[in-house]
């Protein structure tokens, strides 16, 4: 696929560039609680502005269901983007309507316009090719060139990700190119020992990636809510912990397959439990063989966290996706913190697989520069590691 460097060498002065960005940031009302994804697109926007392009930026926020909803407006994002760019960012209150058309027509070289939430238009996510195509036609009419820098959306067959690229000369932004390079390094002859740390709530969300990784990794460490389904597969009682009963047999098969392939699959030996899911719940450390029937596990225990850190100490390549516990609650964040710090202290090529993992790194103040790469796309990263073809990347192929 062609990259931004190729576009810049061709020249963009006097041209309008449609940039698909991933600005799907968490909001508390109108306050952005984590601007990591906005920061991630700054290098591409800055490079294009510096080369004299007029930028029409488009993005989504949340799942408004194809209709305008004030709580999903990108207006707060436009304000923050303006601050970070240190340059005014115009904001259109619609996607391809009269306000957007007028704003695009008035755009001059070096200026930046952000369109309202793409998902306010049903054509963005439509399963109907014609409806999606009509919306893509309207977006493509705003520009001469298309740049996709929204890695967190490349696994979606959406109008702004897939269909627009077929209508305009298309290029990968700096972020997308960097993400793809990192994922190729993880999948094409990674330096060993290659260790993957998986957490998060559900096993079912990661079935395909586990299946695909079992013949590629040396060690697989399992934490988070998904660990309890694996523990159940080992015969442990899990109290009121998150459990996917319909996946217990599949986890049992994974355990057997890992043993057969010589993959070291490491499960927690202790857990931090509480009587309820709450920040002020009283934490109690118990062995995984002694989880009380009226308690739920909300973090891996200290012995497990140390065991995970030991496994990471000599790793040469590490991919981490999913927190080890409910890191938003201080009493249940230590497992995630220890794993994150172990990665920072290691000499491994370490990749944080976006989503909640990236949010945990920032929330727990683990040094971001201690990792080789922090992805902006958890779902996209996982699907790439599953071996799937990602529509947004396929659309950028030369």
Confidence of residue 377 (pLDDT cuts 50, 70, 90): confident
- Per the annotation, binding residues are 22-24, 37, 60-63, 119, 156, 206, 297, 328, 354-357
Catalytic residue among 80, 202, 341, 388: 202
Write down the catalytic residue from 173, 355, 377, 378: 355
Q: Would you state the pLDDT for residue 314?
A: 96
Mean pLDDT for 17-37 is: 93
Domains observed in the chain: 4-178 (3.40.50.1260), 190-366 (3.40.50.1260)
From residue 66, how far is each of 62, 93, 126 by CA, in Å?
A: 11, 15, 9
Q: Is the dihedral of CA 318, 322, 324, 327 positive or negative?
A: positive
**Helix axes of 378-386 and 355-363: crossing angle, nearest 10 degrees:** 130
- pLDDT per residue over 225-272, tens digit each? 999 999 999 999 999 999 999 999 999 999 999 999 999 999 999 999
What is residue 307's predicted lDDT score, i.e. its pLDDT?
98
Q: Is 98 helix (H, G, I), strand (E, B) or coil?
A: helix
Q: What is the pLDDT of residue 52?
A: 97
Catalytic, 379? Answer: yes
Q: What is the pLDDT of residues 164-213, one digit of tens each?
A: 999 999 999 999 999 999 999 998 989 999 999 999 888 888 888 899 89
Contact 185, 162 (CB under 8 A): no
According to the model, what pLDDT value does residue 355 have?
77
Selecting among 199, 223, 379, 392, the annotated active-site residue is 379
Q: Catalytic: 37? A: yes
Q: Is 325 a residue of the active site?
A: no
Task: Tell me whether residue 123 is one of the annotated catalytic residues.
Answer: no
Q: What is the pLDDT of residues 314-369, one digit of tens each?
A: 999 999 999 999 999 999 999 999 999 999 999 999 999 877 888 899 999 999 99
- Least confident interval from 47-51, 211-215, 286-290, 293-297: 211-215
Question: Between the CA of residue 304 and those of 90, 311, 312, what are the distances in Å?
Answer: 50, 11, 12
Q: Look at residue 382 in the predicted model and tell me its pLDDT.
A: 87
Instruction: Please say if the pLDDT value at position 376 is more than 80.
Output: yes
H/E run at residue 339: helix 334-345
């Amino acid at each position: 696929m062609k990259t931004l460097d190729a576009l810049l060498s061709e020249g963009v002065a006097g041209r309008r560039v449609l940039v698909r960005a991933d600005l799907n940031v968490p909001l508390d009302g109108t306050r952005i609680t984590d601007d990591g994804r906005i920061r991630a697109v700054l290098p591409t926007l800055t490079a294009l502005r510096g080369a004299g392009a007029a930028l029409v930026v488009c993005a989504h926020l949340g799942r408004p269901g194809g209709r305008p909803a004030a709580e999903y407006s990108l207006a707060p994002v436009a304000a923050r983007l303006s601050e970070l760019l240190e340059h005014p960012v115009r904001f259109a209150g619609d996607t391809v309507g009269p306000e957007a058309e007028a704003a695009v027509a008035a755009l001059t070289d070096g200026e930046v316009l952000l369109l309202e939430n793409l998902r306010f238009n049903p054509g963005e996510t439509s399963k109907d090719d014609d409806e999606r195509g009509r919306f893509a036609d309207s977006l493509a009419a705003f520009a001469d060139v298309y740049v996709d820098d929204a890695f967190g959306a490349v696994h979606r067959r959406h109008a702004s990700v897939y269909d627009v690229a077929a209508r305009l000369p298309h290029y990968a932004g700096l972020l997308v190119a960097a993400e793809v390079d990192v994922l190729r390094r993880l999948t094409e002859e990674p330096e060993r020992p290659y260790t993957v740390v998986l957490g998060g709530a559900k096993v079912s969300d990661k079935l395909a990636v586990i299946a695909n990784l079992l013949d590629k990794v040396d060690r697989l460490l399992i934490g988070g809510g998904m660990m309890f389904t694996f523990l159940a597969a080992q015969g442990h009682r899990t109290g009121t912990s998150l459990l996917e009963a319909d996946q217990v047999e599949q986890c049992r098969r994974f355990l057997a397959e890992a043993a057969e392939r010589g993959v070291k699959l490491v499960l927690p030996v202790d857990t931090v439990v509480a009587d309820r899911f709450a920040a002020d719940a009283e934490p109690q450390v118990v062995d995984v063989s002694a989880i009380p029937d009226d308690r739920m596990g909300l973090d891996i225990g200290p012995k497990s966290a140390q065991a995970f850190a030991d496994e990471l100490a000599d790793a040469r390549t590490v991919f981490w996706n999913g927190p080890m516990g409910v890191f938003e609650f201080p009493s249940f964040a230590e497992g995630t913190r220890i794993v994150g710090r172990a990665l920072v202290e290691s000499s491994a090529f370490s990749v944080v697989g976006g989503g909640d993992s990236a949010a945990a790194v920032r929330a727990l103040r683990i040094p971001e520069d201690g990792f080789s790469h922090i992805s902006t796309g958890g779902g996209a990263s996982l699907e790439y590691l599953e071996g799937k073809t990602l529509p947004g990347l396929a659309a950028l192929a030369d």
